[in-house]
Amino acid sequence: MFKRYSKIIFLLFFFTIVLTSGIAQTKNFVVINEYMSENELVKIAANIVPAPQQLRWQRLEVTAFFHFGINTFTDREWGEGNEDPKLFNPSALDARQWVKNCKEAGIKQVILTAKHHDGFCLWPSKYTEHSVKNSPWKNGKGDVVKEVSKACKEFGLGFGVYLSPWDRNNALYGTNDYNDYFVKQLTELLTQYGQIDEVWFDGANGEGPNGKKQSYNFERWYAVIRELQPEAVIAICGPDVRWVGTETGHGREEEWSVVPVGEKNSKKENAQTKMDEAPNGDMTGNVLGRRSQLNEGNALKWYPAETDVSIRPGWFYHESEDTKVKTPEYLKEIYFHSVGRNGVLLLNIPPNKRGLISEYDVNALKKWKLKLDSIFERNLAKNAKFSENITNAKQLFDGNDTTYYEVTINGKDNFIEFELDKAHTINVLLLQENISIGQRVEKFVLEYWSNGEWKKVVEGTTIGYKRLLEFPVINARKLRLIIAEGRLQPALAEIGLFWDKNHK
């Protein structure tokens, strides 16, 4: 009896909020309980939406990582923490060249490794001697963080920082005092360089110089970021953006942004999950957020995936990898399998010892951008005419992800039939949901009319912010998109049909 009343009270409270204040359209985190049915959980999940900073981040689509530091000069991936700062001496460092090439490649935000695991700081931190202030570069007066942030402002790109929690140099690591030290350095980065758009943490937690490991106070760090840079997303080991689970650049084919978090049915004291709690549990499974999985935590959260990969085999620059830069064709595949699978691509582009992006990387970026532009320069569905059962659906081809057509999932009205201006050669499908309404599509099918019957072209599961699918070339004029399964009424924002001449 008590369980039933608890469930009723919770649902009355939740749906009263939904009906009276519209919070369901602005809430990105909802606590749930073990008594809810699958249908009740699906309704809640369908109304969870991104916070403003998460929506801004999703629309970036492609961001860049700059792995640069003492490792660049020792030819290492992970430093020991005992490197001589005098090794850091780029002869031609030009942050404008880094950012300009990113902008020309269509990248909209960059993240700099302000401090990696070796503890060497790319800004003159007051709290350590292991930094650029003790290097010969600019006679110890240089500040890489300042130069990159300034270049980002000049070229109109977002700017983020990576601050490694693991520090193999600092003697405080492994003690409570290290968390204070970390907050001091974090505060420097968040107060001296203008707007910070993303703060990136990883979970690396090895031994420090004293042989101890550190217990990270993530929640305290999150609070500092919320206070000093409230518009920043906190990523990977953070509450706003999660790691996709691999470093290949390929995301899941079924990618839900609304996922269960926290420990289900926990008997621990104060076990209720909080919105800004450190990530808990494995978030790298093959599928997260499918309706049958929504009861696997004690809260549902808008928690989208960032898909990271390096343009080279390694993350820091190594001259031996100059000929191993990913090809434009493979970078296109990565784009389709990251941005095109409801993620944001974080592409690492490491500057070399001179302090420049290598010509090998620059050439790959330029050709990649040309390849994407050639595919998406013209939406072949832009001037399509709809069948009689579809009204007010022009917004599906207006290039605006804030307008949408609401699809009714009831058997007869769950498809959008349209006719192109003429028969076109097609092999790429683009779909977008208006995620400010929620992510709701669970299955879709594209069909075309041929020889008096409908034939399947391609099908998929989730859409989210963006879905891109390639398929064997068809020549078609009349098509229909079927939303076969969905949560509530999906808000479809865009349909795009394209021809990639180089994809068979």
Checking if the pLDDT of 342 tops 80, the result is yes
What is the C-alpha separation between 311 and 314, in angstroms, rounded? 8
pLDDT band at 284 (very low <50, low <70, confident <90, very high): confident
Query: Under DSSP, is residue 114 helix (H, G, I), strand (E, B) or coil?
Result: strand
Question: At 86, phi and psi to the nearest 5?
Answer: -70, -15
CB-count burial class (<10 Å; 0-12, 13-18, 19+) for 3 = exposed
Number of C-alpha atoms within 13 angstroms, CB side, residue 404? 22
Query: Under DSSP, is residue 299 helix (H, G, I), strand (E, B) or coil?
Result: strand
Torsion of CA 170, 174, 179, 183, to 10 degrees: 20
- Please check whether residue 29 is in contact with residue 83, taking contact to mean a CB–CB distance below 8 angstroms: no
Task: Give the per-residue pLDDT at 432.
Answer: 98
Task: Report the relative pairing of strands 467-486 and 258-261 from DSSP bridges.
Answer: unpaired
Q: 161, 327, 314: which is closest to 233 by C-alpha?
A: 161
- Top mean pLDDT of 62-76, 254-268, 407-421 is at 62-76
Going from the C-alpha of 28 to that of each of 49, 251, 376, the distances in angstroms are 5, 22, 31
Q: What is the tens place of the pLDDT at every residue in 7-60?
A: 443 444 444 333 333 333 349 999 999 899 999 999 999 999 999 999 999 999
- Please check whether residue 359 is in contact with residue 367, taking contact to mean a CB–CB distance below 8 angstroms: no
Radius of gyration for the alpha carbons in the chain, expressed in angstroms and rounded: 24
pLDDT band at 387 (very low <50, low <70, confident <90, very high): confident
What is the C-alpha separation between 42 and 462, in angstroms, rounded? 14
Going from the C-alpha of 409 to that of each of 117, 193, 489, 491, the distances in angstroms are 50, 49, 7, 11
Q: What is the tens place of the pLDDT at every residue in 185-223?
A: 999 999 999 999 999 999 999 999 999 999 999 999 999
Checking if the pLDDT of 268 tops 80, the result is no
- Please check whether residue 494 is in contact with residue 418, taking contact to mean a CB–CB distance below 8 angstroms: no
Residue that has been written with the tokens 């009355």 in this structure: 12
Task: Give the per-residue pLDDT at 270.
Answer: 54
**81 CB-near residues (< 8 Å, 6+ apart):** 117, 118, 119, 130, 167, 168, 169, 208, 209
Q: What is the tens place of the pLDDT at every residue in 151-166?
A: 999 999 999 999 999 9
What does the block give as tokens for 381?
A: 């569905």
What is the C-alpha separation between 111 and 152, in angstroms, rounded? 10
**More confidently predicted of 265 and 406:** 406
Checking if the pLDDT of 3 tops 50, the result is no
Length, in residues, of the chain: 504
Residue that has been written with the tokens 């629309």 in this structure: 59
Task: Give the per-residue pLDDT at 180.
Answer: 97
- Please check whether residue 214 is in contact with residue 205, taking contact to mean a CB–CB distance below 8 angstroms: yes
pLDDT band at 271 (very low <50, low <70, confident <90, very high): low
Task: Report the relative pairing of strands 242-243 and 258-261 from DSSP bridges.
Answer: unpaired
Instruction: Tell me what the pLDDT averaged over the chain comes to.
Output: 92
Number of C-alpha atoms within 13 angstroms, CB side, residue 98? 33
Task: Give the per-residue pLDDT at 263.
Answer: 84
Residue that has been written with the tokens 């090794």 in this structure: 87
Residue 289 DSSP label: S
Torsion of CA 186, 188, 190, 196, to 10 degrees: -100
Task: Give the per-residue pLDDT at 16.
Answer: 39
Look at phi and psi of residue 405 and say left if phi exceeds 0, alpha if psi is from -120 to 50, else beta. Answer: beta
Q: What is the tens place of the pLDDT at every residue in 413-452?
A: 789 999 999 999 999 999 999 999 999 999 999 999 999 9
Cβ neighbour number for residue 103 with a 10 Å cutoff: 18
- Please check whether residue 339 is in contact with residue 375, taking contact to mean a CB–CB distance below 8 angstroms: no
Query: What single-letter amino acid sits at 130?
Result: H
Checking if the pLDDT of 269 tops 80, the result is no
